[in-house]
């Protein structure tokens, strides 16, 4: 992935002749190829500048058997892009001095077990430096158990030992964001879903975003697929209730673009708070650096000139990228898992196309 991200920055800032190759990038043709050649059943993509959608399109099917077209308003899983939204929610509360990023999390969750490896802080959870483990095997990845509350979901892993002393290493953990969701509930006094609806999705006018519930019926929601070598197959439905704040949302292309735009326009948090999210931690990274809910995609020393988040889970491959200095937001959503290299390559081309369009 890192090489692809560096390629992205190359085309953005004209570091070599690859910039000129992007002049022939045709987003409509490239999007069609994601379906016809790369195994995605349905894809939507687009980019906005200063809050205005400059290009968007979709290809393929939301549900192949019924030949339902995939569109820019098709509901689909966004996987770990959920983390960026949850991180912004945490920073809203920090901005209001309701959360201190650097106190032990027992300040807000007094029943959370103390760890022999050391105290965990909210800053460490946001940055994936707390040492919280990830899923324990395929059974938890393809979860089939419904957890009615975030506390129920947390009870699966909170007694497990940490992987290292908090603050000393980086290890990506969706479960760490489940804890953040519980902290949001305790501090705000409302459920995590209600907080997100009122303070993130409603504010950004994201009217087609929510928490996926396995037993609920959704109109206009995509089916799930995965790519296995050269064939694409139907994916079995798994239950996302074990990971809601870190990967349990559905949304649409238009809504995810609105999220990025609302962030850039300071509708969700102040600029100085946003900048605080774009600080990497003093640990070693195996790949791209990470702030608070954001990957950094540019090379040193300006890693956070392009930020975003990827997402991969059953029936979903997603990519959000933001260029703060040009107020550009790029989003690609697919209903097919195991196609990330192709999706991120397309997103890279789309960012290059958007930058050239401003010349």
Does 183 have pLDDT greater than 80?
yes
Q: Just give the CATH number of 2-356.
A: 3.40.710.10
pLDDT tens, position by position, 98-134: 999 999 999 999 999 999 999 999 999 999 999 999 9
216 burial (CB, 10 Å; 0-12 / 13-18 / 19+) is exposed
Does 338 have pLDDT greater than 70?
yes
Residue 87 C-beta-side C-alpha neighbours within 13 Å? 31
pLDDT tens, position by position, 127-165: 999 999 999 999 999 999 999 999 999 999 999 999 999
Q: What is the pTM of this model?
A: 0.93
pLDDT score recorded for residue 306 = 92
Mean pLDDT of 81-108: 98
pLDDT score recorded for residue 358 = 56
Q: CA nearest 70: which of 59, 79, 55, 80?
A: 59
Mean pLDDT of 189-205: 98
Q: How far is the C-alpha of 210 from the C-alpha of 250, rounded, in Å?
A: 6
The structure tokens 């802080």 sit at 121
Does 9 have pLDDT greater than 60?
no
Q: How far is the C-alpha of 52 from the C-alpha of 257, rounded, in Å?
A: 9
Q: Where are the domains of the chain?
A: 2-356
Q: What is the largest CA-CA distance in the chain?
A: 58
pLDDT score recorded for residue 107 = 98
Does 55 have pLDDT greater than 80?
yes
Does 73 have pLDDT greater than 70?
yes
Does 20 have pLDDT greater than 70?
no
pLDDT score recorded for residue 6 = 41
Q: Are 253 and 72 in contact (CB under 8 A)?
A: yes
pLDDT score recorded for residue 236 = 94
pLDDT score recorded for residue 280 = 86
Does 249 have pLDDT greater than 70?
yes
Does 202 have pLDDT greater than 90?
yes
pLDDT tens, position by position, 21-38: 445 789 999 999 999 999
pLDDT-based confidence at residue 10 (cuts at 50, 70, 90): very low
Does 286 have pLDDT greater than 90?
no
**Which residues, listed in sequence order, are joined to residue 3 by a DSSP beta bridge?**
none
């Amino acid at each position: 992935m890192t090489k692809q991200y560096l390629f992205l920055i190359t085309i953005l800032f004209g570091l070599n002749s690859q910039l000129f190759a992007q002049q022939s990038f045709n987003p409509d043709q490239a999007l069609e190829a994601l379906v016809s050649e790369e195994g995605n059943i349905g894809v939507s993509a687009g980019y906005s500048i200063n809050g205005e959608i400059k290009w968007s399109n979709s290809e393929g099917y939301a549900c192949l058997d019924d030949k339902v077209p995939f569109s820019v308003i098709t509901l689909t899983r966004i996987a770990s892009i959920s983390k960026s939204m949850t991180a912004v929610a945490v920073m809203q509360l920090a901005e209001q001095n309701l959360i201190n990023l650097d106190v032990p999390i027992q300040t807000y969750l007094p029943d959370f077990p103390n760890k022999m490896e050391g105290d965990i802080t909210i800053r460490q959870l946001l940055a994936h430096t707390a040492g919280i483990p990830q899923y324990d095997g395929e059974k938890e990845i393809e979860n089939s158990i419904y957890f009615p509350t975030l506390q129920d979901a947390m009870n699966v892993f909170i007694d497990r030992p940490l992987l290292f002393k908090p603050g000393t290493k980086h290890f990506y953990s969706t479960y760490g964001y489940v804890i953040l969701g519980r902290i949001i509930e305790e501090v705000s006094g409302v459920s995590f879903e209600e907080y997100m609806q009122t303070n993130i999705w409603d504010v950004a006018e994201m009217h087609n975003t929510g928490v996926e519930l396995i037993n609920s019926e959704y109109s206009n929601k995509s089916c799930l697929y995965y790519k296995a070598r050269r064939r694409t197959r139907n994916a079995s439905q798994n239950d996302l209730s074990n990971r809601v704040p870190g990967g349990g949302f559905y949304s649409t292309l238009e809504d995810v673009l609105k999220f990025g735009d609302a962030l850039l326009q300071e509708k969700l948090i102040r600029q100085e708070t946003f900048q605080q999210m774009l600080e990497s931690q003093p640990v070693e990274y195996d790949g791209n650096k990470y702030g608070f809910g954001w990957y950094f995609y540019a090379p040193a020393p300006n890693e956070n000139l392009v930020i975003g988040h990827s997402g991969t889970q059953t029936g979903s491959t997603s990519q959000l990228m933001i260029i703060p200095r040009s107020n550009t937001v790029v989003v690609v959503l697919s209903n097919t898992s195991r196609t990330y290299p192709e999706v991120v390559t397309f997103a890279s081309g789309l960012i290059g196309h958007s930058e050239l369009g401003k010349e």
